[in-house]
């Protein structure tokens, strides 16, 4: 049974309660919940990158959505890749013409689950980890079914062809990426002027 937290709006009472409960939620002094956020990041083939973005569109999903859901899907079933395939996935880098940089913000706990799931495969590189996550997202039958129903709706409503609707999807993400680049430039982010901005 969990302890009740205080319902007081009095900051002094909250401070006292927090001091009294400073060791709660810990084992041997360490928090049991891997709190905070981090990033799943690495270069991947542009096909995997684009397919994942396209399939996330019905949910207005962005990279954080793709990363978290891909990890959940990986943890929920056997990997879609064999150990041999996992260990022999290409490692993409900034210099590869067909590579895209994927960066999705996930909770530290979610990233820890990914590490635990992949531990038996040695130590995949960041590029391999992201590729595995994206491919689990892309291969999921529910993700694909929802996307197909969503795209059919747009075809009926607009009379456009599939490739035309998909180009509009990618246009959306390009505009969204440009907005993020502008925000990064305005906040003096050192990665703002990278050729392939995260």
Both tokens of 86, joined, read 């996992």
- Residue 5 in domain: no
Using CA atoms, how far apart are residues 84 and 100, in angstroms rounded to an integer? 24
Query: Could you tell me the residue range of the domain that residue 107 belongs to?
Result: 37-186
- pLDDT above 90 as % of the chain: 58
Q: What is the DSSP string of 120-163?
A: GG----HHHHHHHHHHHHHH-HHHHHHHHHHHHHHHHHH---HH
Domain count of the chain?
Answer: 1
pLDDT value of residue 198:
42
> Does 9 fall in a domain?
no
Residue 47 located in a structural domain: yes
Is residue 7 included in any domain, yes or no? no
User: Is the pTM value of this prediction over 0.95?
Assistant: no
Closest CA to 196 of 46, 53, 90: 46
Q: In this structure, is residue 194 part of a structural domain?
A: no
Kindly report which listed range (49-58, 115-124, 187-196) carries the lowest average pLDDT score: 187-196
Assess whether pLDDT exceeds 80 at residue 132.
yes
Tell whether 4 is covered by a domain: no
Q: Is residue 98 part of a domain?
A: yes
pLDDT mean across residues, the chain? 88
Q: Report the candidate in 9, 106, 37, 23 with the shortest Cα–Cα distance to residue 65.
A: 106
Does any domain span residue 49?
yes
CA 116, 126, 44: angle at the middle one, nearest 5? 125
| pLDDT per residue as tens digits for the range 77-131 | 767 777 788 878 999 999 999 999 999 999 999 999 999 988 888 888 999 999 9
């Amino acid at each position: 049974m969990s302890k009740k937290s205080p319902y007081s709006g009095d900051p002094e009472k909250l401070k006292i309660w927090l001091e009294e409960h400073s060791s709660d939620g810990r084992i041997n002094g360490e928090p049991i919940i891997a709190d905070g956020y981090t990033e799943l990041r690495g270069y991947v083939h542009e096909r995997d990158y684009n397919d994942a973005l396209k399939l996330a569109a019905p949910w207005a999903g962005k990279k954080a959505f793709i990363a978290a859901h891909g990890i959940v899907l990986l943890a929920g079933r056997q990997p879609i890749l064999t150990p041999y395939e996992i260990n022999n996935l290409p490692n993409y880098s900034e210099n590869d013409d067909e590579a895209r940089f994927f960066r999705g913000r996930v909770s530290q706990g979610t990233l820890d689950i990914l590490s635990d799931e992949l531990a038996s495969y040695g130590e995949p590189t960041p590029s391999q980890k992201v590729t595995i996550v994206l491919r689990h997202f892309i291969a999921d039958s529910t993700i694909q079914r929802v996307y197909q129903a969503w795209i059919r709706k747009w075809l009926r409503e607009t009379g456009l062809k599939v490739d035309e609707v998909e180009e509009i999807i990618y246009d959306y993400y390009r505009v969204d990426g440009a907005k993020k680049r502008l925000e990064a430039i305005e906040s003096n982010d050192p990665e703002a002027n990278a050729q392939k901005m995260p």
